Amino acid sequence: MKKILLSLAVIGGLASSTFADDIADLKAEIDALNKKVAKLENQQKRTKKSLAKVRAHDAFDNIKFDIDFRTAYDYISYKTATKTYTNDALFSNRLWLGMGYQPTKDMIFKGQLAFNKAFGADTNGRGQGYDGFDWVINETLTDDTLKVREAYWLWTPTVGGFGTTLSVGRRPATNGYLINLRDDDKAKSPQGHIINMEFDGLSASIKLDKYVSGSYLKLCLGRGLTNARTRFDAQGLDYATDTSADKLDNMDLVGVLAKIYDDGQYSAMATYYRGFNVPGIDSTLTTPALRTFGNMDGAALSAQIQGIGDMINDFLDDTILFASVAWSQTIPNANQPMLGSINKESGYSYWIGAQVPNLTGGKFGLEYNHGSKYWRPFTYGEDTMIGSKMATRGNAYEAYWTQPIIKKDGKSLFSMQIRYTYLDYDYTGSNGFFGDNGTPLTMAEAVANGLDPVESAQDLRVYFRYRY
């Protein structure tokens, strides 16, 4: 028995000694591993830092492209005094190929190439008439050529402690404040109630948000028409001003925009502009043609509530309400009746709307606007097939449902919209220029003059849109 116990003690002692050695070995191995892990962690940190530097450098070292491609179906219908005209098979594609480059923090280039075309070959000279006018060339259905919709540089220096911007180039004054809601776009600075067209020019702004939340002041100068002669002019006067009586003057537009207030929930915006030497059709000529008619003033005040209450629930948070009022006034040249009148004529318009979220993660909207007899905004580029609803001298009603179908990182990648627009005209000439074809006649007056005016128009649209 003693022998057995002695043997066990010896074996135990030996095992204990081996176990202690193993523990020491293991500890050494763990220490070595810890050192390796620490080294690897440091390496990973350095790699992450390097990668972040590379990404930050890369982010400002190349042109970034984005795509906005939309396929739409429109059912359109016009009711005149005598007849109804329809198109129940109008399909179209619209592509915006955007690009941006920001080599430094305060210098940005932005560009956008676009095409906007109806399905099928065209035999009606689309894009050759006023639908090919420079103000709307990318907003109307033309052909399958890519055109420049946007190309400008934007400099954003801080001057005297104020954030400022200066930008020159071709800038579409489209998709502006409030009209962006039905268009499902981010709002650009123009007020959609009065300005919605493309232009070449410059803008300069100064941020005043250190005084009033979100406020800024912006000056915009645009050239709507140039009367420079062509290259290889017959008289050798390439690009000189053409002062011939049958030529249009340069047309310019000066506007002052003010973001009065914007705290992310409540915002208000105001604009005043003057268009110099605005064109119109002169019907007194043997062959009616465009002539310069005078100047045009306009102004608007718009306000928006994005979210009702202080984050009460998602429905109220995402509900948007807005209202806007606008005014326009003609300033005709001597003996050049603008909108059919040699006197200064004022028009007004008001616009209200709401947008609410729905169960499917989409948005539902209702809008109404009214325009008076001499109402005339610059909204020729508005994205409405039957003519600008904001220009309606009468009543315009609209309902839409915008639905994201595929989202990525909180952004709509693929979406659809169903929209119905109904325009009920009180007067003719809602979408004309500033001369005779902008003359407001009641429907009865127009009929008495042998015309067959459009009394109402409607557009039912369904689109699918890819953006990335």
Partner 1 sequence: MTTVKKVAFAAILGFGLIATTASADADKGKRIYQKKLKNVCGFSGAVFAAKHTQDEWAEAKENGELGKVMTEACPAGADFFESAKFKKKFSTHLYDFVHDFASDSGNIPSC
Q: In the bound complex, what is the minimum distance in angstroms from residue 393's beta carbon to partner 1?
A: 20
Q: In the bound complex, what is the minimum distance in angstroms from residue 65's beta carbon to partner 1?
A: 11
- Residue 136 near residue 380 (C-beta atoms within 8 A): yes
- Given its phi and psi angles, is residue 417 left (phi above 0), alpha (psi -120 to 50 degrees) or beta? beta
- Give the 3-state secondary structure of residue 56: helix
For residue 200, list its beta bridge partners. 170, 223
Q: In the bound complex, what is the minimum distance in angstroms from residue 361's beta carbon to partner 1?
A: 6
Q: In the bound complex, what is the minimum distance in angstroms from residue 138's beta carbon to partner 1?
A: 18
CB of 356 or CB of 447, closer to partner 1: 356
Integer angstrom CA distances of residue 230 from 240, 242, 292: 8, 10, 19
CB of 132 or CB of 357, closer to partner 1: 357
For residue 345, list its beta bridge partners. none
Closest CA to 420 of 117, 72, 74: 74
Q: In the bound complex, what is the minimum distance in angstroms from residue 53's beta carbon to partner 1?
A: 8
Q: In the bound complex, what is the minimum distance in angstroms from residue 6's beta carbon to partner 1?
A: 59
CB of 186 or CB of 231, closer to partner 1: 186
Q: In the bound complex, what is the minimum distance in angstroms from residue 366's beta carbon to partner 1?
A: 9
Q: In the bound complex, what is the minimum distance in angstroms from residue 415's beta carbon to partner 1?
A: 13
The tokens of 389 are what?
A: 């609803």
Integer angstrom CA distances of residue 64 from 60, 89, 178, 201: 9, 36, 27, 24
CB of 133 or CB of 425, closer to partner 1: 425
CB of 35 or CB of 411, closer to partner 1: 411
Q: Which helix (H) or strand (E) holds 322?
A: strand 320-332
CB of 342 or CB of 356, closer to partner 1: 356
Cβ neighbours around 249 below 10 Å, total: 18
CB of 160 or CB of 410, closer to partner 1: 410
CA dihedral for 454, 455, 460, 466, sign (positive or negative):
positive
Per-residue burial over 65-90, b if 16 or more Cβ lie within 10 Å, else e, is eeebbbbbbbbbbbbbeeeeeeeeeb
CB of 3 or CB of 55, closer to partner 1: 55
Chain contacts with partner 1 (rule: CB under 8 A)? 48, 51-52, 55-56, 58-60, 64, 75, 77, 100-102, 108, 110, 154, 156, 165, 167, 186, 188-189, 213-214, 262-265, 306-307, 311, 313-315, 317-318, 356-364, 399-401, 407, 409-411, 418-420, 422, 458, 460
The tokens of 225 are what?
A: 């028409």
The tokens of 166 are what?
A: 């200066």
Between CA 46 and CA 39 the distance in angstroms is: 11
Closest CA to 116 of 172, 77, 177: 172
Closest CA to 379 of 393, 365, 397: 393
CB of 265 or CB of 341, closer to partner 1: 265
Between CA 281 and CA 336 the distance in angstroms is: 11
Between CA 374 and CA 296 the distance in angstroms is: 12
Q: In the bound complex, what is the minimum distance in angstroms from residue 344's beta carbon to partner 1?
A: 35
- Residue 90 near residue 461 (C-beta atoms within 8 A): no
CB of 254 or CB of 416, closer to partner 1: 416
Between CA 218 and CA 241 the distance in angstroms is: 30
Q: In the bound complex, what is the minimum distance in angstroms from residue 265's beta carbon to partner 1?
A: 5
CB of 297 or CB of 318, closer to partner 1: 318
Q: In the bound complex, what is the minimum distance in angstroms from residue 341's beta carbon to partner 1?
A: 34
